[in-house]
Every structure is written in C-alpha cells, then in structure tokens.
Amino acid sequence: MSVERRSILKGAAAIACAGSIDPSAAASQDPLVALIEEYRHGTAAFNARSVTEEWEGLTEATYGPSMDRLCTSPPMPTTFAGAMHGIEFVLSEMADFIDSNANEAVLKVCAAFLRQHVGASA
C-alpha cells in the first residue's frame, strides 16, 4: 500500500469515526460537496429526460459543466465532511463507472486536504 493511499485511508477512518456526514449541512460550507451535489442533481435531471432527446445538448444543460469541473479542477474541500464526501463520491463513481475521469482529480484534492489537516505522517 502506498504512503498516499495509507494516509487517505487513515484520514477517512478518522473522519468515519467522528460520525455520519450530512451532505446538506456540509454543502453550505464546503465547495467540493456543493459541486458534487450539483453534479448529482444534474445527472438526475439528465436521467429523468426523454431518451429521444439529443443527448449532447442535454448533457451540457444538466450534468456536463459540473462533471467537467470535477474532472479538471475540483475545488479542495474545506471541511473533513467535504473530504469524506469526495472520497465517497469516488467510491460511488468507481462502482457505477469504471473509467470516470473525475476519480483521480477528486481524490487528489481530498488527499491534499487530509495531508494539510491530519499530517503527512498520518
């Protein structure tokens, strides 16, 4: 197990021990949670639309912009709840989409947050 993965897992375990995370409460404070929730609302809107609609335009009108930000420049979480939400998002994406481009970018900002707040040796 790599040092970075070990640090992420230790930080995630510490956060999990702190109790459950309420995404609605964390979203008001954390930009990563807000972006993930924007993406989830967009995917729900996309999935609720007619399958006969032109999907590229529909993607751009629903989840596309938030997915682009998650893939290219996700904001660093500002709370432990936000870091955990980001890790849970990646786990969910890995279960649903084998090759989600957002996974690496989101994990990197969560790991950076945990390194800053838990410590590099954690």
Query: Which range has the worst mean pLDDT, 7-11, 68-72, 75-79?
Result: 7-11
Higher pLDDT, 113 or 11: 113
Tell me: the pLDDT tens digits for 72-98?
999 999 999 999 999 999 988 887 876
Query: What pLDDT does residue 1 have?
Result: 43
Over range 58-63, report the average pLDDT.
Answer: 92
Residue range of the domain that includes 33: 3-118
CB 7 within 8 A of CB 115: yes
- Mean pLDDT score of the chain, rounded to an integer? 78
Burial of residue 65, with CB atoms counted within 10 A of its CB: 0-12 exposed, 13-18 middle, 19 or more buried: middle
Prediction pTM value = 0.70
Q: What pLDDT band is residue 56 in, cutting at 50, 70 and 90?
A: confident
- The total domain count for the chain is 1
Q: Are 58 and 91 in contact (CB under 8 A)?
A: no
Decide if pLDDT at 20 tops 50: no
Inter-residue contact 67 to 39 (CB < 8 Å): yes
Which of 15, 69, 80, 60 is closest to 37 using CA atoms? 69
Residue 40: CA atoms inside 13 Å, Cβ hemisphere, count? 17
In one-letter notation, the amino acid at residue 18 is A
